[in-house]
């Protein structure tokens, strides 16, 4: 079992890494999926079944969601619940986020000093960053996932 705090500590160590489409190297370049895969591998979380197919700058949302459903545990989905995901959220859960009309972005849930934050690598911010999960970001969350071997 991997401790969720270990995952978040590793994700925070990536803050400041430049955004790079399909990037996979901390300190050199990471995209949102690259951040997730780097943190999982660095902490010993099993991502061996994660199929890393090439994808465009705006990935196919259905393919991404199908992949996540096959590898992770879905905790919450907007299509199945009209209630907020916040009561279900745990440190190091993963957000699937709608970006440019499709579920094509991901980030880590992290407890911050004033509530929930998101740690993610995003083209618009140009770096791996952590910021508050405000109402605008909450509204973009499509699904919440959890690694199977994280406590």
pLDDT at 51: 64
**Which residues in the chain land under pLDDT 50?**
none
Can you count the helices (H) and strands (E) in the chain? 4, 8
**Alpha helices, DSSP H, located in the chain:** 4-13, 32-42, 61-71, 135-140
* C-alpha–C-alpha distance, residues 124 and 114, integer Å: 24
pLDDT at 142: 95
pLDDT at 26: 97
pLDDT at 53: 67
Partnered with residue 117 across adjacent β-strands are 110, 132
Tokens of 110: 């992290």
- Could you give all domains of the chain from N- to C-terminal order, each with its CATH number? 4-146 (3.90.1720.10)
Tokens of 78: 């907007």
Tokens of 114: 């004033």
pLDDT at 111: 96
pLDDT at 48: 75
């Amino acid at each position: 079992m991997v401790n969720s705090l270990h995952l978040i500590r590793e994700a925070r160590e990536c803050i400041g890494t430049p955004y790079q489409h399909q990037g996979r190297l901390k300190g050199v370049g990471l995209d949102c999926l690259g951040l997730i895969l780097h943190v999982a591998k660095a902490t010993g979380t099993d991502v061996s079944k994660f199929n890393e197919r090439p994808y465009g700058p705006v990935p196919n949302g259905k393919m991404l969601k199908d992949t996540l459903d096959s590898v992770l545990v879905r905790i919450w989905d907007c299509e199945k619940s009209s209630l907020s995901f916040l009561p279900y959220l745990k440190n190091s859960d993963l957000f699937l986020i709608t970006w440019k009309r499709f579920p094509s972005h991901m980030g880590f849930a992290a407890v911050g000093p004033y509530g929930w934050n998101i740690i993610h690598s995003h083209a618009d911010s140009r770096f791996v960053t952590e910021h508050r999960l405000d109402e605008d970001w909450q509204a973009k969350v499509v699904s919440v996932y959890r690694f199977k071997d994280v406590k």
